[in-house]
Amino acid sequence: MCLPPSPPVSALLDRFGRIHNYLRVSVTDRCNFRCVYCLPEEGVTWLPRQSLLGYEEIARVVRVMAGMGLRSVRLTGGEPTVRRDLPALVESIAAVPGIVDLSMTTNAHRFASQASVLKAAGLRRVNISLDSLDAARFARITRGGDLAAVLAGIHAAIEAGLTPVKVNMVVMRGENDDEIVPMARWAMAVAPAVQLRFIEYMPFESRWHQNVPAAEMRVTLASALGELVPVTSKQGGGPAKHWQIGPLVVGFIAPITEHFCATCNRLRLLADGHLRTCLAHEDTPSLRDVLRGGATDGELALLLRGIVGGKPAGHLAEMAGGTAFEGVMTHIGG
Ligand code: SAM
Ligand code: SF4
């Protein structure tokens, strides 16, 4: 009988047997946008600078986790490009033995001038948020974003070779759901340098009615563009499920209606050093005080093993009446 390979002895395993080899690092909670699905218009206070993890502290967590099987790191935020001297962080993470994939999620507003420097520092890939192709609507959704600057950021990413550039659209009913088809047409024009993914809106503020299920998005696409065929071969290591529409492959990330908790391999290091084992749960121990309290790498590894061991099975978000996700997305990093 052929048995699956056993996980390495030191792997970050939870009690459900899930191996954690992917870390999202929120490098700042600050952002130059205030997207309607992510940040409230007012009332959010930024973390004081001294409570943010320093670059050396982030790199140390990555190094200790890499010794426990971590392979992929994604920088996120808030908006990672607003934190000063980001290439220095990229360089130090890229140099950690074992890290084979270093990527970033950005709104790309400032990216055109940063793409080549970040690539040279060791960034491999980039995901860019783009929720509308209409400049006025884009400005409204992001509360002030400039569509032209973001499109320039996408082109700079392609030029710099940060490919495949994945473009993410969060679909919200009544906000931009009428742009699902135009966005797919745009993606057909810019493929294969760009790969489009539709993301289901996660209701951080109990706006359940604005979630558009991925299945509904697929019906909309099929009625305008023809049959969607599921892609069975694995496309990347993430939670997106892919479908072929004519020449185009699009991804769907559906954390609500087609959630992927059973295969979750992710951990999230928040800007202030809290470690979230699940996006939807706020109960997160802080690594910052441990790091600043003089813990050895061995003690840190032991702590990490305990935290990951206690990871919940999944989130309880179900349509209409489920529990809303907890916290503020810019703090958590998506
Ligand atoms: N500022 C960067 C950006 O917008 O790409 C990175 C941080 S953002 C929090 C990371 C990802 O979370 C983005 O793709 C964003 O669209 C997504 N996101 C934020 N709030 C969301 C929500 N309520 N539901 C689904 N996705 C959300
Ligand atoms: Fe900022 Fe990204 Fe949140 Fe928009 S989605 S407010 S760009 S962190």
pLDDT digits (tens, 9 = 90+) for 261-306: 888 999 999 999 999 998 877 777 899 999 999 999 999 999 999 9
- What Cα–Cα distance (Å) separates residue 253 from each residue in 53, 115, 162? 29, 25, 21
Best probe residue, ligand 1, of 169, 172, 199, 269 (max atoms within 8 Å of C-beta): 199
Protein residue whose Cα sits closest to atom 22 of ligand 1 = 202
Q: Does domain 22-332 have CATH number 3.30.505.10?
A: no
pLDDT band at 258 (very low <50, low <70, confident <90, very high): confident
74 vs 192, more confident: 74
Q: Spell out a b/e string for 118-131, using b for 16 or more CB atoms within 10 Å of the CB, else e.
A: bbebbbbbbbbbbb
- Domains in the chain: boundaries: 22-332
Q: Is the pLDDT of residue 205 over 80?
A: no
Q: Is any atom of ligand 1 closer than 6 Å to the C-beta of 77?
A: yes
Distance CA 211, CA 172 (A): 6
For residue 138, CA distances in Å to 17, 206, 209, 328 come to 42, 23, 21, 21
Any atom of ligand 1 within 6 Å of the Cβ of 330: yes
220 CA to centre of ligand 1 in angstroms: 23
At 187, is the secondary structure helix, strand, or coil?
A: helix
Please provide the distance, in angstroms rounded to a whole number, between the alpha carbons at the two ends of the chain. 41
Q: Full-prediction pTM beyond 0.75?
A: yes
Tell me: pLDDT of 318 over 50.
Answer: no
Return the residue whose CA atom lies nearest to atom 2 of ligand 1: 106
Q: Which ligand is nearest to the CA of 127?
A: 1
Residue 19 has pLDDT above 50, yes or no: yes
Spatial separation of the C-alpha atoms in residues 246 and 240, rounded to whole Å: 19
Across 217-236, average pLDDT: 90
Would you place residue 321 in the very low, low, confident or very high pLDDT band (cuts 50, 70, 90)?
very low
Q: What residues does 170 pair with on adjacent strands?
A: 199
Percent of the chain scored above 70 by pLDDT?
Answer: 89
Residue ID of nearest Cα to ligand 2 atom 3: 38
Query: Strand 22-26 and strand 266-269: pairing?
Result: parallel
User: What is the distance between the alpha carbons of residues 167 and 114, in angstroms, rounded to a whole number?
Assistant: 18
Let me know: does 280 contact 325? Beta carbons within 8 Å: yes
For position 328, what pLDDT does the model report? 57
Element (H, E) at 72: strand 72-76
Single-letter code of the amino acid located at 265? N
**Nearest CA residue ID for atom 5, ligand 1:** 106
Higher pLDDT, 10 or 169: 169
pLDDT band of residue 136 (cuts 50, 70, 90) is: very high
Beta carbon of 21 within 6 Å of any ligand 2 atom: no
**How confident is the model at residue 261, as a pLDDT?**
86
Q: What are the helix and strand counts (H, E) for the chain?
A: 10, 11
How far apart (Å, rounded) are the C-alpha atoms in residues 284 and 264?
17
In the chain, pLDDT over 90 holds for what percent of residues?
A: 75
Average pLDDT over residues 156-185: 97
Lowest mean pLDDT among 48-57, 112-121, 135-144, 316-325: 316-325
1-5, 160-164, 223-227: least confidently modelled range: 1-5
Ligand nearest to the CA of 129: 1
The pLDDT, as a whole number, for residue 232 is 85
Asked whether residue 320 carries a pLDDT value surpassing 50, the answer given is no
pLDDT of residue 319: 40
Question: Which atom belonging to ligand 2 lies closest to the Cα atom of 109?
Answer: 7
Helix, strand, coil share (%) of the chain residues, nearest 5: 35, 20, 50
334 Cα–ligand 1 center, Å: 5
| More reliable by pLDDT, 323 or 247 | 247
Ligand 2 close to Cβ of residue 110 (< 6 A) = no
